[in-house]
Amino acid sequence: MTTESPSQANGATGRRRELLAIAAELFADKGFKNTTVRDIADAAGILSGSLYHHFDSKESMVDEILSSFQAELFAAYDEVLRSDDDARTKIERAVRLSFEAIDRHRHEVAIFQNEADFLGQQERFAYLAERNAQSRDVWITLLEDGLRSGALRADLDVELTYRFIRDTVWVAVRWYRPGGKLTHTDVADQYLTILLDGIAHA
């Protein structure tokens, strides 16, 4: 069915990685559906048909991009969850970790942000919805721990707070640029200041 040899079916080839990186940038900039296989091939300096030597389909490209990124991201979340830091520190770490992910994998984050809803309708991408639920579990756990320990104010709506944090953190991928004036740490510092203590004068 596939033209890959067994030894390379895991995508370890250098050329595969290159092509996936090129595709990821285009998917992030123009959207998955709005990026053609000819766009990708042009950017790679080959003909569109040649892409099918490396990949089964355009879908399998975005699949590989998203699933490998998600695996890495959730490994990081798990480490925070399992640490013995106090509740507030865990929340801080989870926020910093997310901005760092934007810094290191902006294309992947952007694709997930823009295409998850649409792709998630297909069975092949059902794991996207699962990962979303998993992410929610992480945050709800962290926030409820914060409430219990007294680190967070008691009148918070945990579900809404989770949504606000998630939205603000991940949508930053739209404007954050690695190598720009602000580092991901700068952004995380400022956001944590506002999130924890508010913008109003004390």
CB-based contacts of 130: which residues, under 8 Å, 6+ apart?
none
Least distance (Å) from its own copies to the CB of residue 143? Answer: 8
Stretch that binds DNA, among 2-10, 109-117, 118-126, 178-186 (CB under 7 A): 2-10
CA–chain centroid gap for 38, Å, is 26
Q: Measuring CA to CA, how many Å separate 165 from each of 110, 162, 196? A: 17, 5, 11
For residue 139, give the amino acid letter.
Answer: W
For DNA, which residue of 11, 50, 126, 167 counts as binding (CB under 7 A)? Answer: 50
**CA trace torsion 112, 18, 25, 190 (10° rounding):** 70
What is residue 49's DSSP assignment?
G
Select the binding partner of residue 193 from DNA, its own copies, none (C-beta < 5 to 8 A, by kind).
its own copies
Stretch that binds DNA, among 52-60, 117-125, 152-160, 173-181 (CB under 7 A): 52-60
Handedness of CA 32, 59, 100, 141 (dihedral sign): positive
Select the binding partner of residue 47 from its own copies, DNA, none (C-beta < 5 to 8 A, by kind).
DNA
The span from the first CA to the last CA of the chain, in angstroms, equals 65
Select the binding partner of residue 130 from its own copies, DNA, none (C-beta < 5 to 8 A, by kind).
none
For DNA, which residue of 11, 29, 47, 178 counts as binding (CB under 7 A)? Answer: 47
Give me the residues that bind its own copies (CB under 8 A), please: 30-31, 33-34, 88, 114, 117-118, 146, 150-157, 160-161, 163-164, 167-168, 171-172, 174-175, 182, 187, 190-191, 193-202
